[in-house]
Amino acid sequence: MKNVKLIVPIISLVCAAVVCGAVLLWAPVCAGPLELANGNMVPMRCAYTAKVAVLLALVLAAVALGAYRGWSGERRQALETFTENTALRDYLEERSMDAANLRVVAARHLDREDEDLAALTQVRKTLTDPEATVEELAAADAELTRLAARLQQELPQLASVQQSSRDQAYITTLTRTLLAAQSVTDSYNAQVESFNRRLEASLTGKLAQLLGVQPLTAYETP
């Protein structure tokens, strides 16, 4: 992202410089007056065209830079709202703790190499990763729900679980909690919907997309 922030203004300035440079090369040809058939001397039309071209180049560069900075800034604020959401952090922390506890209980009854145990470990790692993206967090959250649903059905069928009333209670409580959890990302998703709709509908939004501003991704879990 830092590189993009540097590239966009550079591209805008280069485009403006190219146009201005072309005009400067063109200007000497247009500098002299044009003698009409009646003997009158008038400025050549290309002289005016050159001035207009320079002005348009500067205006386009300014518009492009403004569009990029405006839309990228709004996009960054939306992502900051997501990462700084206290309710969301608490939600993900609770989910990761429940995943860890479910893994501890499940590990007492499953093979050490069981894929569900590995999946629970990976899910918890992602949910507690401060660098995880919205897409990665949503995918991990959804995967945890799928794992809870599967283990809720499979673990009680094991003979070792049936012999432990304590673990039966743990499994029931943890899986029900994981399956009943309600996401707290409605406000963020509303921001995403508004941002993406306006980005696609406006001319400056389309220009910003050409310069690298991407639509936001909603936090969605099945």
Could you tell me if 91 and 158 lie in one domain? yes
In a domain, 134, yes or no: yes
Q: Percent of the chain beyond pLDDT 90?
A: 40
State the pLDDT at residue 17.
58
In a domain, 26, yes or no: yes
3-state secondary structure of 28: helix
d(CA 96, CA 102): 10
Tell me the torsion sign for CA atoms 105, 106, 112, 115: negative
State the pLDDT at residue 6.
44
Q: Which tens digits make up the pLDDT trace of 82-118?
A: 877 778 888 899 999 999 999 999 999 999 999 999 9
Tell me which residues of the chain have a pLDDT lower than 50.
Answer: 1-6, 24-27, 29, 47
In a domain, 52, yes or no: yes
- List the domain range (segments joined by +) for residue 127: 86-184
Could you tell me if 61 and 101 lie in one domain? no
Could you tell me if 61 and 126 lie in one domain? no
Could you tell me if 92 and 128 lie in one domain? yes
As given in the structure block, the two tokens for residue 148 are 């809870």
State the pLDDT at residue 173.
96
Could you tell me if 104 and 20 lie in one domain? no
If one counts the domains in the chain, the total is 2
Could you tell me if 95 and 42 lie in one domain? no
As given in the structure block, the two tokens for residue 97 are 């703790």
Torsion of CA 194, 196, 199, 201, to 10 degrees: -80
State the pLDDT at residue 107.
96
In a domain, 142, yes or no: yes
Could you tell me if 29 and 119 lie in one domain? no
State the pLDDT at residue 221.
73
State the pLDDT at residue 72.
87
As given in the structure block, the two tokens for residue 82 are 């997501």
Could you tell me if 180 and 98 lie in one domain? yes
State the pLDDT at residue 10.
53
State the pLDDT at residue 25.
47
In a domain, 66, yes or no: yes
Could you tell me if 116 and 172 lie in one domain? yes
In a domain, 77, yes or no: no
3-state secondary structure of 112: coil
Q: What is the pTM of this model?
A: 0.66
Could you tell me if 103 and 147 lie in one domain? yes
Q: State residue 110 phi and psi, 5-degree precision.
A: -110, 160
State the pLDDT at residue 32.
55
